[in-house]
Every structure is written in C-alpha cells, then in structure tokens.
Copies of this chain bind each other. A is one copy, B any other.
C-alpha cells in the first residue's frame, strides 16, 4: 500500500483498554490554560513507571468554554478507576488549583463514572468557598490569593483505549523527527485523543522482556534501531531507513484513536524523506483493539 509515495505496511496497531478522564482547563489566556495543563499532565508518558498517562487533547476556543475564556482540553488515563480518582485529585489539586486564574470543568460526555474532585477540593476554601450553577454546571468557587479557583464538582471518566500507535521510518533521523513532529501537531486537532509521550513522540519503542537480562520487563526493539541495522540479522529496517520514531495514541474511544492514526499518517507522509509507515503489535495476542492502517486510511 502507498500514500503519497510512502509505503504503508498492511499491519495494525494493537491497543488496550484504559480508564480515561477528560477535563477542560480555562484561564485568563491560552498561555496560562496551557501552562496549567502541561504541568498537570507532566510525568505522564506511560503507566509502566509514571503514575498516569496524560496529555493535552486540544485547544478550546473561548466560545466553547463554560466561562467564555480560552481553554485547553486534557486527558488523564490509568488502568483502574481508583488510581484515576487519586490522580485527578493530586494533579488538579497540586497543579491547577495552584495555577493563576485557572478553572476546571468536566469535558467528557456519557461518562461511566463520576469523581467528586471539585467537591473535595472546595474544602481548601476553609469555609469561605461557595457553590453555584455556572452555565448549567454545578461548580465550587474557592477564594485564593490569586483571585478565585472555580471547579466543577464532578468530573467524569469512562473506558477508553490506550496504546494506539504508528511508526514513522525515514531516510535519516532528522527527517523522521520532523515527520513525527508534524504528525503530533496534526493529532492535536483530533477531539478525544492524546499522544502521552514527551512532546508526543516515542524515541525508544520497546519490546516486552529481554533477550539477555532476565530482570528487565521491557528492552529495545532492536529490529527498528537504525544503529543496529548492520549488526543484527533480523532488522526490519529497509536499507534506506536511518531514522525511526513512534507515536503512541490514547483516546476516549476506538474511533477517536483511529481518526488520530489517520490524521497523523496523513501529516507524516507530507514530510520529505519519509519512506514507510507501520505500526506495532504483539501478533494480536495481547490487546483488545486492532487498529488496521489499511482501514483507517481507506486504502
């Protein structure tokens, strides 16, 4: 298969169930909404050793926010609801409540589960907090040094999808990097998805366990490492490929992850030097979802 001259491998990304909360952070300007969202979602690339997988979904224009201010949608994901409750409380309480002019609203429709994060955080007001209905939402208003912190009393979560992915193979490292940046930038527009790794990019795609070290649960995917291409016998890299980056996609639904996969690939193939797009899976044995590249691209 080919898209704009770039080979698309007929394979699939294998993805997994996860629990997802989606919130809207607003502020006096986009800069501060984004700053709060970034701090809240930091140290959140992979639940392997981070307390959550988290990231920016997309920027919200003022006319779609409950308080008419600029905003940013963000998502926080964990494997279970208990951890998600704790992560929402800690990340919002420590990183958003403390941030200048911030407000927090639920941004997930049809949630399966509600967490009373706003209810809990309001007690920080030490009796000076108030409650009101703001554009149909029950919110708490907490006086703080910087003014007031507003938060919706209940935040919703639901079952979502983690580990959607795509691999970008290019002639060299910088072409692959520019392409993966373009893909991440494009996915920022796709409602209900995040690319949780640093800057949206995975530079160190891995395989489960290890060939050599029994104590390691994950090690390099050497078949896709350019510097090992001529040192191993089973490299998966074409002769003209010297740069590879991966994107991992989490979403509120399989459809959202599929859309992000499509948009990401369409952006990547526009970048000069990209040779091939593929995806990572475990033969379909581990994950609940199979995101077929052929299907998402309509090829």
Contacts and interface: CB of A to CB of B under 8 A. Distances in A.
Interface residues of A, number: 105
B198 A173 contact: no
B43 A145 contact: no
B177 A101 contact: yes
Given A144-B205, A149-B203, 11 more contacts: A28-B174, A46-B94, A97-B203, A99-B203, A101-B173, A123-B213, A128-B222, A128-B225, A145-B245, A147-B243, A174-B178
Nearest to A171: B172
What 6 A-B pairs come out closest when comparing CB atoms? A42-B42, A146-B203, A126-B219, A99-B198, A174-B175, A127-B212
A100 B245 contact: yes
Contacts of A202: 98, 145
B174 A272 contact: yes
A204 B143 CA distance: 9
Interface string A80-103: 000000000111011111111110
A69 B185 CA distance: 11
Contacts of A41: 42-43
A35 B124 contact: no
Contacts of A175: 172-175, 273
A176 B101 CA distance: 12
Interface in A156-192: 167, 170-182, 185-186, 189
Interface stretch (A15-23, A48-56, A131-139): A48-56
Contact of A40 (B36, B43, B48): B43
A143 B219 contact: no
A238 interface: no
Nearest to A211: B126
Contacts of A211: 126-127
Contacts of A186: 62, 70
